[in-house]
Amino acid sequence: MNEATNNFDKSVFHLIKYGCIDVACIYCQNTYKIQNKNLLYHRGQTLFCYECGIDAMTPITKDSILHDMNEEERKEQIKEWHKEGFENLIDDDEFYYDYEYDKCEEIKEEPSF
């Protein structure tokens, strides 16, 4: 999801221009109103949520898909993105085979020169 990456500078610009910014966490599905730059937690250029620690924050700016939506539509879109990004993972249980590596003793050999 493009809106959740490289979004720190855009968020700071919006915050300075308008005095606050709404950001949505796709992982914990919450929306926060930020009024202080120090509350925009980031790693590099990507925002991350101070509640869950996941880098899945989407700033709600004019170029965001969420911008022109009402509150209910936003919640539905965030829920959809959450499912796409965090729930609809491939279920590989049918292909899983336990090789029982955890039951093997590790064999350590002396290094040879």
Note the pLDDT of residue 29.
95
What pLDDT score was predicted for residue 4? 86
pLDDT in tens, 36-92: 988 888 989 999 998 999 999 999 999 999 999 999 999 999 999 999 888 866 566
Report residue 2 as tokens.
Answer: 């493009």
Q: Average the pLDDT over 11-19 and give the result.
A: 94
Q: Is the pTM of this model over 0.85?
A: no
- 107 band by pLDDT with thresholds 50, 70 and 90: low
Identity of residue 111: P
| Letter string b/e over residues 66-90, b meaning 16 or more CB atoms within 10 A of that residue's CB | beeeeeeebbebbeebbeeeeeeee
Predicted confidence at residue 110, as pLDDT, reads 66
- 48 φ, ψ (degrees, to nearest 5): -135, 155
Residue 37's pLDDT is: 87
pLDDT at 80: 94
> CA-to-CA distance for 100 and 50, rounded, in angstroms?
38
